[in-house]
């Protein structure tokens, strides 16, 4: 069994290797360790190895795990990478440092209200339905410019765009398309790439990669 520290070193080395031909700095890519479904004791070895940026899918799960972990590792940064229900906006704003799934007007309204109440602005990635899939969340591509304008009007910091390409297809064209959409809309960040395709994502400009299995191993 590889240790968590060894797996972390491997992923970091792969990111560095892909940055070179793309003429990118390693420091421009944030590795989000996706700790969803993994208990606190499985997260601790990565924290002890020095990693500080983690991703969770569900508000409730993060509430159960992270308050205690953060008492010991107060500089840990927590990203919400899963779909967010509007009625959980207030809890999400309290707990997370970045939200990756802002994708509709009702959620925008709830988040803006929650941020006003909390007195803090949480940067958000606008999730794009890059493959135009009915079953997936994400703003429709045609609606993206208008939605980004609404986010800016609500004084919510836009961290960038996020996507999940269709399963079982070549991810590269979707990553390239997201990068173009970001450029067209004056947005810098790109949250794209997971364990199976993060190296491709780095080549194509990802600023944030969301890696779970390659760091934690397969979920039981």
Residues 28-63: pLDDT tens digits? 999 999 999 999 999 999 999 999 999 999 999 999
The number of residues in the chain equals 220
Cα–Cα distance, 48 to 66 (Å, whole number): 15
pLDDT value of position 11: 97
Interatomic CA distance for residues 91 and 63, integer angstroms: 9
Digit-coded pLDDT (tens) for 98-115: 999 999 999 999 999 999
pLDDT higher than 80, residue 171:
yes
Q: Are 193 and 168 in contact, with CB atoms under 8 Å apart?
A: no
pLDDT above 90 as % of the chain:
95
Distance of CA 84 to the CA centre of its chain: 13
Q: Which pair of structure tokens corresponds to residue 15?
A: 């990111």
**75, 55 contact by CB (below 8 A):** no
Dihedral Cα 129, 145, 183, 25, nearest 10 deg: -60
The whole-number pLDDT of residue 217 equals 83
What average pLDDT does this structure show over 127-155? 96
Note whether 96 and 79 are within 8 A (CB).
yes
pTM of the predicted protein model: 0.96
Q: Is the per-residue pLDDT at 220 higher than 60?
A: no
Residue 145 CA to residue 126 CA, distance in Å, equals 11
By DSSP bridging, strand 208-211 and strand 124-127 are unpaired
- Helices 105-118 and 144-153 pack at an angle, to 10 degrees, of 20
State mean pLDDT over 116-143. 96
Mean of per-residue pLDDT scores for the chain: 96
Structure tokens at 171: 């991810």
What pLDDT was estimated at residue 1?
60
Tell me the H-state helices in 119-212. Answer: 144-153, 172-184, 198-203
Residues 161, 164, 167: CA angle, nearest 5 degrees: 160
Average the pLDDT over 105-134 and give the result.
Answer: 97
Q: Given this model, what pLDDT does residue 219 score?
A: 63
């Amino acid at each position: 069994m590889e240790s968590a520290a060894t797996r972390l070193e491997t992923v970091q080395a792969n990111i560095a290797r892909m940055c070179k031909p793309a003429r990118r700095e390693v420091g421009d890519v944030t590795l989000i360790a996706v700790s969803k479904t993994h208990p606190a004791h499985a997260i601790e070895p990565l924290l002890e190895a020095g990693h500080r940026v983690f991703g969770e899918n569900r508000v409730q799960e993060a509430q159960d795990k992270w308050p205690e972990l953060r008492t010991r590792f107060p500089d840990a940064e927590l990203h919400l990478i899963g779909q967010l229900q509007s009625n959980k906006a207030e809890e999400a704003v309290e707990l997370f440092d970045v939200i990756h799934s802002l994708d509709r007007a009702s959620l925008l309204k709830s988040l803006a209200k929650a941020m006003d109440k909390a007195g803090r602005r949480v940067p958000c990635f606008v999730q794009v339905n890059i493959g135009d899939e009915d079953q997936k969340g994400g703003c429709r591509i045609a609606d993206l410019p208008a939605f980004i304008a609404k986010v800016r009007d609500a004084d919510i910091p836009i961290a960038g765009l996020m996507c999940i390409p269709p399963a079982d297809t070549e991810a590269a064209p979707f990553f390239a398309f997201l990068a173009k959409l970001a450029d067209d809309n004056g947005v810098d960040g790109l949250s794209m790439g997971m364990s199976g395709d993060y190296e491709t994502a780095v080549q194509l400009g990802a600023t944030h990669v969301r890696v779970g299995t390659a760091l934690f191993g397969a979920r039981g």
